[in-house]
């Protein structure tokens, strides 16, 4: 019974991650469940959510808004820090 509950909880967390992201607690829970179920379809749910969002935008192009400049700067800064952290040598 626990295995079935874990499988259900895994799917629930994967869906939440794909649709809206997870807080730290739920993210940790998801990572633990993924270690127990390496065959889980994490990427498939993320792709499905992305395609669904694109379909909605295609129906209502006015919903597409440019990224705020402050967010762009923050994201690029974060990417640079991460890229520096994984550079070899």
Question: Domain spans of the chain?
Answer: 2-62
- pLDDT at position 41, please? 81
Inter-axis angle of helices 42-59 and 2-20, nearest 10: 40
Would you place residue 87 in the very low, low, confident or very high pLDDT band (cuts 50, 70, 90)?
Answer: low
State the average pLDDT over residues 18-26.
87
State the average pLDDT over residues 75-85.
84
Would you place residue 89 in the very low, low, confident or very high pLDDT band (cuts 50, 70, 90)?
Answer: low
State both tokens at 77. 């800064």
Q: Which residue has the higher pLDDT, 82 or 76?
A: 76
CA 22 to chain centre: 8
**Tell me: the pLDDT tens digits for 24-77?**
999 999 999 999 887 788 888 888 888 888 888 888 878 777 878 998 899 888
């Amino acid at each position: 019974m626990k295995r079935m509950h874990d499988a259900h909880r895994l799917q629930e967390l994967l869906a939440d991650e794909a649709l809206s992201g997870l807080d730290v607690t739920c993210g940790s829970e998801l990572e633990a469940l993924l270690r127990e179920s390496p065959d889980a379809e994490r990427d498939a749910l993320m792709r499905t959510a992305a395609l669904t969002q694109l379909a909605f935008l295609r129906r209502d192009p006015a919903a597409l808004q440019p990224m705020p400049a402050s967010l762009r700067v923050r994201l690029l800064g974060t990417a640079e820090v991460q890229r520096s952290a994984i550079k070899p040598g």
